[in-house]
Structure 1
Amino acid sequence: MLPPALLIVVSTLLSQIVALPTEHGPDQFVIEGPRIQREYENGELPPVENTLGWVDPRLHGGRLLDFTTKRLGEPLNVIISALSDPFILTESGLHTYAKSIGFSKECLGLHYGHVHDADLGDGLGRKPEQLLYRQDYFPVIGTCWESVRGGHHFRAWKQNGTIADSGAWFLGASLEKDSSKNHLIEDDGYNLGRNYIVEQAIAGSHWSGMWWKGDVEWRRGLLEKGSRGVNHDIEQDGLVAILTVVRL
């Protein structure tokens, strides 16, 4: 069996030819066929569907937009499937994995900004974000620099209610501007934030002696393409990345 370090190198090379949306258009990477719902011409979202490793929140009245205000939300554009390594499905495991892909908890443990709610259709209704991670530019206080400079961040909710206890993590990822711009989301910041996490995941990562590798499946139809109902009126492409992360 190849040592973990060599596996990561091989995985990184292979990741150059697999599923990451680029400026050339993400459609070439979207899984087609019965597992992808078509986009309706009248703008409605496709029917809900049963899935493996996570439950479509719309089955029980939830949605793939969180609640930033009473009527606007930000896209839950990454799902870490419950088919992933069990450790990642715990809070401590997600923390370890987040560190491996370049994120950490907020500067000095202090929360900046508004707390978002999300309804994952799991029977718990709207619940506040459980975790928030910011891009960790350098050791010790790297997320403090993100709070000033801006960068990537994501919020996380676990689907673990009484009617949908998949254990999957639902992430809302985005790229934000610096503090002088009040941390507003960058143009195309939702797509860019999602793509950054996917890029790190499929390239492979490690932290604290643990090595990880992610596979991605792209889903169209869980989110409505465009900016309707989206915070800051920023358009997003409607794609959700389903990550399955395994330990090497």
Structure 2
Amino acid sequence: MGYTSISPNVLPLDRTLPYIPSILNMFAKSVILIVALLTAAAARLTKKQNTQSSGFNIPLSWNISGNTDGSTSVTDFNVINAVISGNSDSYTLNNIEDYLNALGFAEECFGFHRGNPFYANLNDGQGWFAQQFELRQNIGDNPFGTCLESLFGGNHLRGYQQKSTNAWFLPISKEKDVSDHHDIATNGYNSGRDAFANAAKGSVNYGGKCWPPATVAYEQLYPAYAGAGDTDDDQPYDGQVAIVTVDAPSNC
């Protein structure tokens, strides 16, 4: 019995050569795409590792919302622009309001608060939860200092603790006076954060405790917003978060 050899249908070389540049071009584009995807993934992993080493985990949202489900609108959209790192001294983290008092903040005027709470989701299993405190600038460091802030405007902040790291997330802003309904002042997100960070860089004291200058680093963890339609009261925000690491206080 004889066998017939069947040759594969091979395209002649002279007909193959014209396709080689296109094939190489497609291959090069595929390699570039793969490299870009791997680079982006590595950047995300690096940012996550960097923030974890900084003593906090990335929250579900850097926004705080006036709505319990976290939905935002221009009228209730504020930003978290400072973090007290979970790498800070445990006494400070457990007595955070004492440290904030040392930085020039205090409870609202005679403890009176007007307005609804804001909610944050720190990606730690707590879901969207209400602020744990709201403090105002203690102008003149006297019993009526926060009353003056309520009347004439100044810095104020809210506090939310991340359960998984003990870090404190602080939305800070400079606000206008009571006649302007405490709207965010011009450039108030950036200037409020910077005033807070500058205070933390100095030696401060409160209630018999003296804190050394904190370590402050800025990280670009948020998109930069031009302002109009992007944030509450249409104020710009540069997207930088002040990461503050506080050492143990001494008795003084």
Shared fold (TM-score, shorter chain, > 0.5) = yes
Please state how far the C-alpha of 1:139 moved relative to its aligned partner.
1.3
Q: Which runs of 5+ in 2 are unaligned?
A: 1-42
Please state how far the C-alpha of 1:81 moved relative to its aligned partner.
0.3
Q: What's 1:94 paired with?
A: 96
Indicate yes or no: 2:119 matched with 1:117.
Answer: yes
CA distance in 2, matches of 1:210, 1:116: 30
Please state how far the C-alpha of 1:68 moved relative to its aligned partner.
3.2
Q: What's 2:132 paired with?
A: 130
| Higher percent of residues as helix | 2
CA distance in 1, matches of 2:148, 2:116: 19
**Among 34, 58, 64, which residue is 1:66 paired with?**
64
**Change beyond 3 A, Cα 1:68–1:187:** farther
Indicate yes or no: 2:105 matched with 1:103.
Answer: yes
Give the percent of matched residue pairs that are identical in Structure 1 and Structure 2.
33
Q: What's 1:77 paired with?
A: 81
How many matched pairs? 192
Indicate yes or no: 2:216 matched with 1:216.
Answer: yes
Instruction: Tell me if the contact between 2:174 and 2:192 (Cα under 8 Å) persists in the aligned partners.
Output: yes
Structure 1: which amino acid aligns with 2:142? Answer: P
Structure 2: which amino acid aligns with 1:184? Answer: D
TM-score by length of 2: 0.73
- Moved runs in structure 1, 4+ residues, more than 3 A? none
CA distance in 1, matches of 2:187, 2:194: 11
Q: Which runs of 5+ in 1 are unaligned?
A: 1-45
CA distance in 1, matches of 2:156, 2:116: 13
Structure with the larger RCO, 1 or 2 (CA within 8 Å, 6+ apart): 1
Instruction: Tell me if the contact between 2:108 and 2:146 (Cα under 8 Å) persists in the aligned partners.
Output: yes
TM-score by length of 1: 0.74
Q: What's 1:238 paired with?
A: 239
Instruction: Tell me if the contact between 1:210 and 1:247 (Cα under 8 Å) persists in the aligned partners.
Output: no
Q: What's 1:182 paired with?
A: 181
CA distance in 1, matches of 2:146, 2:57: 32
Please state how far the C-alpha of 1:229 moved relative to its aligned partner.
4.0
**Over aligned residue pairs, what C-alpha RMSD do you find?**
1.5
Structure 2: which amino acid aligns with 1:103? Answer: F
CA distance in 2, matches of 1:115, 1:175: 18
The 5-angstrom pairing of residues 137-216 of structure 1 reads 137=139, 138-160=141-163, 165-212=164-211, 213-216=213-216
Q: What's 2:224 paired with?
A: 225
Instruction: Tell me if the contact between 1:175 and 1:190 (Cα under 8 Å) persists in the aligned partners.
Output: yes
Structure 2: which amino acid aligns with 1:129? Answer: Q
Instruction: Tell me if the contact between 1:75 and 1:223 (Cα under 8 Å) persists in the aligned partners.
Output: no
Q: Decide which moves more: 228-237 or 206-215.
A: 228-237
Instruction: Tell me if the contact between 1:105 and 1:143 (Cα under 8 Å) persists in the aligned partners.
Output: yes
Bigger radius of gyration: 2
Instruction: Tell me if the contact between 1:80 and 1:242 (Cα under 8 Å) persists in the aligned partners.
Output: yes
CA distance in 2, matches of 1:152, 1:142: 12
Indicate yes or no: 2:248 matched with 1:247.
Answer: yes
CA distance in 1, matches of 2:66, 2:231: 9
CA distance in 2, matches of 1:68, 1:174: 16
Q: Decide which moves more: 166-175 or 209-218.
A: 209-218
CA distance in 2, matches of 1:247, 1:71: 37
